[in-house]
């Protein structure tokens, strides 16, 4: 049985906001990569939360292993 995976990364883009990248699929398969852009860190984190919530929706009967990787540090200011 191939185990599904779901990984989200947030990357800071030089002078142009943040890239949210989702990789998902099953072990041993090619998988799918999707990208979203947001102008600020707060919006990028909100998008990441929406993506995770949609995949963990138990009404859909899906169970995923969630790997969360933050590619950025939080800066107050």
Q: Confirm if 10 and 48 have CB atoms less than 8 A apart.
A: yes
Residue 75, domain member (yes or no) = no
Structural domain count of the chain: 1
pLDDT of residue 40: 94
Residue 29, domain member (yes or no) = yes
Residue 35, domain member (yes or no) = yes
d(CA 7, CA 44): 15
Q: Confirm if 71 and 11 have CB atoms less than 8 A apart.
A: yes
> What pTM was computed for the model?
0.68
Could you tell me the residue range of the domain that residue 62 belongs to? 4-70
**pLDDT surpasses 80 at 12:** yes
Tokens read off for 25: 């699929």
Mean pLDDT of 2-19: 86
Residue 76, domain member (yes or no) = no
Taking only the tens place, the pLDDT of each residue in 53-72 is: 887 766 655 555 444 444 54
Question: Is the Cα dihedral 5, 30, 46, 42 positive or negative?
Answer: positive
Taking only the tens place, the pLDDT of each residue in 14-50 is: 888 999 999 888 888 888 999 999 999 999 999 998 8
pLDDT band at 13 (very low <50, low <70, confident <90, very high): very high
């Amino acid at each position: 049985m191939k185990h599904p995976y779901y990984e989200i990364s947030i990357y800071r883009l030089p002078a142009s906001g943040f890239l949210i990248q989702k990789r998902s699929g099953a072990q041993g398969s090619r998988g799918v990569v999707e990208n979203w852009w947001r102008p600020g860190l707060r919006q990028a984190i909100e998008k990441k939360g929406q993506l995770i919530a949609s995949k963990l929706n138990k009404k859909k009967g899906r169970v995923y292993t969630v790997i969360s990787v933050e590619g950025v540090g939080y800066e107050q200011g």
